[in-house]
Amino acid sequence: MYLIVGLGNPEQKYEKTFHNVGFIAVGDTAEVLGAKFKKKECEALVAEAFVSGEKVIIARPLTYMNNSGRAVKQLMAKYKITEDKLLVIYDDYDLPKGKVRIRANGSAGTHNGMRSIIGETGLTNFARIRIGIRDEEVDIPLINYVLSDIRKDDYPLFAEACKKAGEASAEFAKGISIDKVMCKFN
């Protein structure tokens, strides 16, 4: 069983913000795997898919970004997800906008959602897909930037990045090793 989590904030006012690219990307994951977000459980909106007979849980935590770890911890416990079957998709200010970077493990960096997941679960050896959001032309405080709407001119760039992240996470859910996913999509 696999758990794929996209980080974001649940309210409609955050829907098109940089901080919600994880939510957008898992929507693409669900589409690739033929799943629909239909139920709420463990403080998350959840879609379920079956790939080669194996269940895949796709989740959007409803706990807001800074408490994402609560939902992830609950889902991992409920479905007995091991660290090697967890993948998290999130925005990353340290990468240029639209850049997708996949890693097998790592730290939280400056990302509060990842800090929450690592803090709640005590795990760091899980796969992650980071979607770059940094725009060299914008000079505002980070907290204001991540909660601002993606500029309309940049929609195609972010739509493509989220689609790529969705496809990569679907490959992971098919049992393809994260190393092979990295080689194909990085």
Of 19, 70, 73, 163, the catalytic one is 19
pLDDT of residue 68: 98
CA-wise closest residue to 87 among 172, 175, 186, 182: 172
pLDDT of residue 98: 96
pLDDT of residue 139: 84
pLDDT of residue 100: 98
Q: Report the alpha-carbon distance of residue 126 to residue 39 in Å, rounded.
A: 25
pLDDT of residue 142: 81
pLDDT of residue 173: 96
CA-wise closest residue to 133 among 168, 112, 162: 162
Q: Which helix (H) or strand (E) holds 182?
A: helix 178-185
| Owner of token pair 């601002």 | 148
Burial of 51 (0-12, 13-18, 19+ CB in 10 A): middle
pLDDT along the chain (186 residues), means of 10: 97 95 98 97 97 95 97 98 98 95 93 96 97 89 89 96 98 96 95
User: 3-state SS string over 134-181?
Assistant: ECCCCCCCHHHHHCCECCHHHHHHHHHHHHHHHHHHHHHHCCCCHHHH
Instruction: Respond yes or no: is residue 19 known to be catalytic.
Output: yes
CA-wise closest residue to 173 among 53, 79, 72, 92: 53
Side chain identity at residue 29, one-letter code: T
CATH numbers and ranges of domains, the chain? 2-185 (3.40.50.1470)
pLDDT of residue 184: 96
Q: Report the alpha-carbon distance of residue 74 to residue 117 in Å, rounded.
A: 11
